[in-house]
Amino acid sequence: MTLTEKLRERISRAFYNHGLLCASYPIPIILFTGLCILACCYPLLKLPLPGTGPVEYSTPVKDYSPPSPDVGLQQGDLSERPDWYVGAPVAYIQQIFVKATVSPWQKNFLAVDVFRSPLSRVFQLVEEIRNHALRDSSGVKSLEEVCLQVTDLLPGLKKLRNLLPEHGCLLLSPGNFWQNDRERFNADPDIIKTIHQHEPKTLQTSATLKDLLFGLPGKYSGVNLYNRKRVVSYTVTLGLQQYDSRFLSSLRSRLKLLHPSPNCTLREENIVHVHFKEEIGIAELIPLVTTYIILFAYIYFSTRKIDMVKSKWGLALAAVVTVLSSLLMSVGLCTLFGLTPTLNGGEIFPYLVVVIGLENVLVLTKSVVSTPVDLEVKLRIAQGMQNDLSGVVLLGLVSCLQEFCLFAVVGLVSDFFLQMFFFTTVLSIDIRRMELADLNKRLPAEACMPPAKPVSRSQRYERQPAMRPATPHTITLQPSSFRNLRLPKRLRVIYFFARTRLAQRLIMAGTVIWIGILVYTDPAGLRTYLTSQVTEQSPLGEAGLPPMPVPGGVLPAGDPKIDLSVFPSDPIQLSENQTQQRNGQTELGTEAEVTWGPEDEEIWRKLSFRHWPSLFSYYNITLAKRYISILPAIPVTLYLNPQEALEVRHPQEANRYHPFLSPSSGKLGAEAQPDQASSKLQGHQDVTLYKVAALGLASGIILVLLLFCLYRVFCPKNYGQNGLSHSRRKRGDLPCDDYGYSPPETEIVPLVLRGHLMDIECLASDGMLLVSCCLVGQIRVWDAQTGDCLTVIPKPRLRRDSSGIFDYQESWDHSPDGKNGLDDSFENSHQLKRMLSPPQPLLFCDQPDLTSLIDTNFSERVKVAESETRLRAVGSRQKETGYDFSSLVGKAYEEHSTSSCGNLAGLPAPHGAPRPLGCGAEEGGCAGDLESSVWSLDLQGNLIVAGRSNGKLEVWDAIEGTLRSSNDEGQSGITALVFLNKRIVAARLNGSLDFFSLETHTSLNHLQFRGKQGRGESSIPSSPVFSSSDVIVCQLTHTVSCAHQKPITALKAAAGRLVTGSQDHTLRVFRLEDSCCLFTLQGHSGAITAVYIDQVGCTQEQQPLQAPAEPPVPPEGPSWGPLLLCTWRS
Amino acid sequence: MAENDAMPTLPKKCGPYISSVTSRGMNLVIRGIVLFFIGVFLALVLNLLQIQRNVTLFPPDVITSIFSSAWWVPPCCGTASAVIGLLYPCMDRHLGEPHKFKREWSSVMRCVAVFVGINHASAKVNFANNIQLSLTLAALSIGLWWTFDRSRSGFGLGIGIAFLATLVSQLLVYNGVYQYTSPDFLYVRSWLPCIFFAGGITMGNIGRQLAMYECKVIAEKSHED
């Protein structure tokens, strides 16, 4: 043994132990894994979460100097200083906050007068700011030198070209709407229209132009027709490249001098630095989400191939959880060790998973699932892990992952860890769940799908579920069995809808998206709420606002840094204005006073947090991972006298607007009869709301209509076609669809052939007769055309009973009526009646495909021990059948023996040897039947050949129910047999092959066909009118003792050839006459599960194709996955 | 199939509905529609990826950016993908060598994911120069073909598609119908053929997988007949 082999074995041993551990203690291990995930994700807490708002940090204005770009040089309160506070900001934002009002207000003023004249002053103010210059000893410093010079707008923003400054200072004001041209403003007949012309018509997703230019949220601006306070607010926003405290303080003091705000209480101590995260926009999220959806679909399609798990979605979810948490873990670990994680990891990871990662999960699942079902879950997981070794370890080590970055390696390691612990454990839980509950439903479904082959007896006895309650009346329809049937188009559409639940899902998804968009984009909705939350949580917001506005008249404490060397450019004119205002205030009655309250504190906070990023992005400047510094706003109060307001009034406005109604009289009136124009303008803000309401109403109506239609479409079908009224459909009309959707059972009306008390284990049919055998060895013969139970074993007809119980029970039952004998028997014996849960009348109707109506899947997996186990382990509701069965029957037998002993002479005692009925040869066979079960059946004419687990071969008469012959020369169980042309070939569990020939010793004459013959190929006289005197001898002609190394699983015969398929991966072709082995067909890499020979003479074998890394082949049927189809020419 | 042995009396003839659905023309149309929508969807998503790179025009609004590029681009991509997706199985049939390599949906999903990944890489990863970018993408595309296709016909068709599509797109750009705002034009030109090649392979993969259904149904039908 080389070193690598030793190593390999040791590793596989370790995996085995690990799997055992995982399956033994699932809950602790999942908890442990969860703790590991949490621990590894802990460093992520330090990382900024994507999608959160900007963070703030405020420094006092006093002694402010831009932080040094070098991190190491920072001194002072490093603990409080955020790590992004390094280097100069992108820009300093200086806002000049203007509040203006017309005072005193005259009653005949129009509504537009509230904001027209205040807005007109912005041009003057902008001029003042633009022309401001600091003259001191070092020379003259103008605004141009300190302001942020912006270049071109992005080419996509051509329509904003006239509105936003280009090639100059970043100076934004409402005057930009009119290109900072007073004449344009005066000539503008409709200010509000101008302002709102660039508002997005649809839902708002980012900062609007109005917000940008006004510098404060639209509803605070007061520029609308219903401004009761008659105070108009706007800001002039100035972007500064460098911080020049002297220049700024000179600007501040000058503006304050020109436009004093006597009662202003705005605090001016702090500079707020706002740091913006890298923004993950929808545009970036959509591809990411798409990749994850593709990933999920990939996982889904992969897990769909895997059967025998309880819930594929659950496993897919577990796989995704594995993937995501391994991503998080790797990011966390990288962070812990000082590697700066980038978002790239999150984007790369799905691809990583798609290329490599998920294969591990699939390999794991496959290898676990492919272990035999009957093993205990622990052992299955352990074995699976052992098998998994080659997959996971090789993929992890050999693949070219080392060339990926360290992140990928860490991610893979954590992924591996999670798969080892988390996913394996989840898988074990899943499989355990399935073993307990789901096998019942699952196995019939599988068994319906593979065509019922009476001869293919395989090693599937291994998969025999340990505890499957007998549910003879439940029949699960396999979709594919209806694939060949047709369906009206209408129904197909409906099924498509029903299958995908398309409507519901679409509506649901649409609603969710819609609500999400609404919530996100609603100006007064979540976004602003979040913003305010962020604001409140920021340190500055908590720093506290002044509790109450200081009463007017109290001048704020002068800024100590006010530079007194202020040289106003034209102070005289302005001071005249000032005095005029004051005069006007005193002269006229209704005065207005501009108040500055705490709500005006840092008005920029009320803006969307994407305000600044979107502003800068217009100039192709990104704020992601950078910060801006917002300087305290300069308050400016403007009072305008009525004359001024009247002068700037546009001539058209007088006609279009009502006089602004004074609050005392006009409130009601204004609301009662709003003007058309004004309502239109007013409605602009609410138009979104109306749209939303209308949309909601419309979608609600559509929803109701849709539901109504669906109801109308579905319900008649359900009600009308329920029950048996449609059961006599023509065969070709059975509904189906091509897409594998199994229509509701009411559509098919599966008819239940009741009679068997245990699970059906094998089935044979020649098109006319249908022979079924249940676990206890009871054989029933049904008419495939009418569904009648022709021969129930008990009656002196068939004598194929493993336990005398059934033999007896059926025999006396059958006497009253050939058809309903079983039910009658239940009527007679109340204990027995309980065995069939609903004592409904027999549903024997002529259904063509009876194979799908009977549990056929046990035909290939029966084991004696298991059947006993099953008997023991039948669930509580089946207890009577399982446990007290024989005693009950015994009682019943005693009760009825007196009544029926007369005509049933040969009744066997419940536990004793069955009495021979027809012929003497029956004796031995029946005696042996008690402990052996039927593993294989074949039918030809009226002869039934049954192979038993104890190696006995029996020939029964299908019509009369008599044992014609038996042969117990072999000891090994017969796994498959073929009955063809008086020849019987039996394949045994030990791999040997026995050839028998049937010979009639009496005057066996020409055997005539019974009715229409179904099988074209059957050349044997199949419906012999045997009398009981005819003696059939079953003679062993040849024995191929070692035909295969392993049990023979599949057997087919045609045209003088016999093909066997075995678990040893090979097929052999024998000649029927002399049992000479003609060919050995190799090429399959797994056990053969099915063989098919077509009549032309070429053979085909089907075998589940496994991943090459997996030695064990699941003994599943074709439902397993892709079939390898080889065609051999013989 | 053995069911036919067991129950030969079960009639296997198909009704008119199935035969209408499984008729070649109908099936072709259905497949074409499916492929068209897949192509449109991929075009939108991948265009979004390129928008992040500022290769196509950057719009002011994010939501509208999905539909930012010229309206006819997604339909064109959809049509092209439908044509490609129908062409591949058709070519397989004419060449008489049905594509048998990894014919399952999970493999197709992997293929799509890798295709999106190649796009992602071209959009996100900063390469030193265009040669490097081209070589990397070419290697990835060849790897995609080797992993999911491995048929010579697929390779040839992919090359042809890449050549044609690049030619057409360059013609469009030169005639001013479409434009990039790429920092340098060579950048776009360097990844375009690789993307087209990978896209051709991917759509061919999907088309073949879809065609398998038709083959299956027809095979069943013929078997029944």
Per-residue pLDDT of A758-806, as tens digits, reads: 777 777 777 777 788 877 777 888 877 677 777 776 543 334 444 434 4
Residue A201: predicted pLDDT: 52
Q: How many residues in total does chain A contain?
A: 1130
Q: How many CA atoms lie within 13 A of A601 on its CB side?
A: 23
Q: Is A816 helix (H, G, I), strand (E, B) or coil?
A: coil
Q: Which residue has the higher pLDDT, A845 or B102?
A: B102
pLDDT-derived band at A357 (thresholds 50, 70, 90) equals low
In a domain, B7, yes or no: no
The verdict on B218 touching A (C-beta cutoff 8 Å) is no
Nearest CA in chain A to B214: A738
Question: What would the mean pLDDT of A689-706 be, rounded to a whole number?
Answer: 84
Per-residue pLDDT of A1039-1098, as tens digits, reads: 877 777 778 888 877 777 788 888 777 788 888 777 777 777 777 777 777 777 765 544
* DSSP H stretches of helix in A375-501: 377-398, 406-418, 424-433, 439-448, 489-500
Closest residue to A453, CB basis, from B2, B57, B62: B2
The distance of A764 to chain B (nearest Cα, Å) reads 7
Q: For residues B62 and B220, what is the distance between their CA atoms, to the nearest angstrom? A: 50
Domains contained in chain B, number: 1
Question: What would the mean pLDDT of A675-700 be, rounded to a whole number?
Answer: 66
Within 10 angstroms of residue B20's Cβ, the number of other Cβ atoms is: 14
Per-residue pLDDT of A190-220, as tens digits, reads: 887 888 777 665 444 456 777 778 887 777 7
Partner-chain contact B104 A453, CB within 8 Å = no
In a domain, B207, yes or no: yes
What secondary structure does DSSP assign to A610-669, as a single string?
A: THHHHHHHHTT---BT-EEEEPPPEEEEEEE-HHHHHHT--HHHHHHSPBPPPHHHHHHH
A538: Cα separation from own chain's centroid: 38
Partner-chain contact A451 B63, CB within 8 Å = no
Residue A392: predicted pLDDT: 41
Q: For residues A786 and A850, what is the distance between their CA atoms, to the nearest angstrom? A: 10
Q: For residues A15 and A384, what is the distance between their CA atoms, to the nearest angstrom? A: 9
Residue A447: predicted pLDDT: 38
Q: Which residues of B touch A156 (CB under 8 A)?
A: 57-60
Answer whether residue A985 shows pLDDT above 80: yes
Question: What would the mean pLDDT of A229-238 be, rounded to a whole number?
Answer: 83
Question: What would the mean pLDDT of A9-19 be, rounded to a whole number?
Answer: 76
Per-residue pLDDT of A286-338, as tens digits, reads: 777 787 788 778 777 766 665 556 666 677 677 767 767 776 777 677 666 65
What secondary structure does DSSP assign to A50-82, as a single string?
A: TT---EEEEEESTT--PPPS-GGG--S-TTTS-
Residue A858: predicted pLDDT: 46
pTM of the model: 0.41
Partner-chain contact B63 A282, CB within 8 Å = yes
The distance of A809 to chain B (nearest Cα, Å) reads 30
> Residues near A392 by Cβ (< 8 Å), separated by ≥ 6?
A360, A363, A364, A416, A419
**Token reading at A269:** 């101590």
Least confident of A343-352, A392-401, A671-680: A392-401
Least confident of A63-72, A448-457, A727-736, A864-873: A448-457
In a domain, B91, yes or no: yes
Residue A1004: predicted pLDDT: 44
Beta strands in A893-1027 (DSSP E): 934-940, 943-948, 953-957, 963-967, 974-980, 983-988, 993-1000
In a domain, B8, yes or no: no
Per-residue pLDDT of B102-159, as tens digits, reads: 777 878 888 888 888 788 777 766 666 777 778 878 888 888 888 888 888 888 888 9
Q: Is B70 in contact with B57 (CB distance < 8 Å)?
A: no
**Token reading at A77:** 């309160």
Interface size A-B, in CB pairs within 8 Å, comes to 153
pLDDT, chain A, mean: 62
Report B:47-76 residues touching A (Cβ under 8 A).
Answer: 48-49, 51-52, 57-63, 65-66
Query: Hey, which of A540-544, A911-915, A1000-1004 has the most confident mean pLDDT?
Result: A1000-1004
Per-residue pLDDT of A1052-1065, as tens digits, reads: 777 777 888 887 77
pLDDT-derived band at A572 (thresholds 50, 70, 90) equals very low
The CA R_g of chain A, rounded to the nearest whole Å, is 45
Burial of A816 (0-12, 13-18, 19+ CB in 10 A): middle
Q: Is A978 in contact with A455 (CB distance < 8 Å)?
A: yes
Burial of A660 (0-12, 13-18, 19+ CB in 10 A): buried
Residue A1030: predicted pLDDT: 65
Helix (H) or strand (E) holding A779: strand A779-783
Answer whether residue A419 shows pLDDT above 60: yes
Per-residue pLDDT of A524-551, as tens digits, reads: 444 555 555 544 444 443 333 333 343 4
Residue A904: predicted pLDDT: 38
| Of A808, A827, A783, nearest in space to A939 by CA | A783
In a domain, B11, yes or no: no
Within 10 angstroms of residue A902's Cβ, the number of other Cβ atoms is: 7
Q: Which residue has the higher pLDDT, A73 or A159?
A: A159
**Token reading at A519:** 């919530």
Answer whether residue A555 shows pLDDT above 60: no
Residue A205: predicted pLDDT: 47
**Token reading at A46:** 């330090």
The verdict on B7 touching A (C-beta cutoff 8 Å) is yes
**Domain extent for B209:** 22-224
Residue B37: predicted pLDDT: 92
Helix (H) or strand (E) holding A847: none
In a domain, B5, yes or no: no
In a domain, B68, yes or no: yes
In a domain, B14, yes or no: no
Q: How many CA atoms lie within 13 A of A1047 on its CB side?
A: 21
Q: For residues B80 and A510, what is the distance between their CA atoms, to the nearest angstrom? A: 29
Question: What would the mean pLDDT of A339-363 be, rounded to a whole number?
Answer: 56
> Residues near A863 by Cβ (< 8 Å), separated by ≥ 6?
A461, A462, A464, A933, A949
Least confident of A33-37, A641-645, A1104-1108, B67-71: A1104-1108
pLDDT-derived band at A384 (thresholds 50, 70, 90) equals low
Q: Which residues of A touch B65 (CB under 8 A)?
A: 283
pLDDT-derived band at A738 (thresholds 50, 70, 90) equals very low
Residue type, A610: R
A314: Cα separation from own chain's centroid: 9
Nearest CA in chain B to A451: B3
Q: Is A613 in contact with A276 (CB distance < 8 Å)?
A: yes
Q: Which residue has the higher pLDDT, A725 or B71?
A: B71
Residue B36: predicted pLDDT: 92
Q: For residues A140 and A1011, what is the distance between their CA atoms, to the nearest angstrom? A: 120
Maximum pairwise Cα distance, chain A? 142
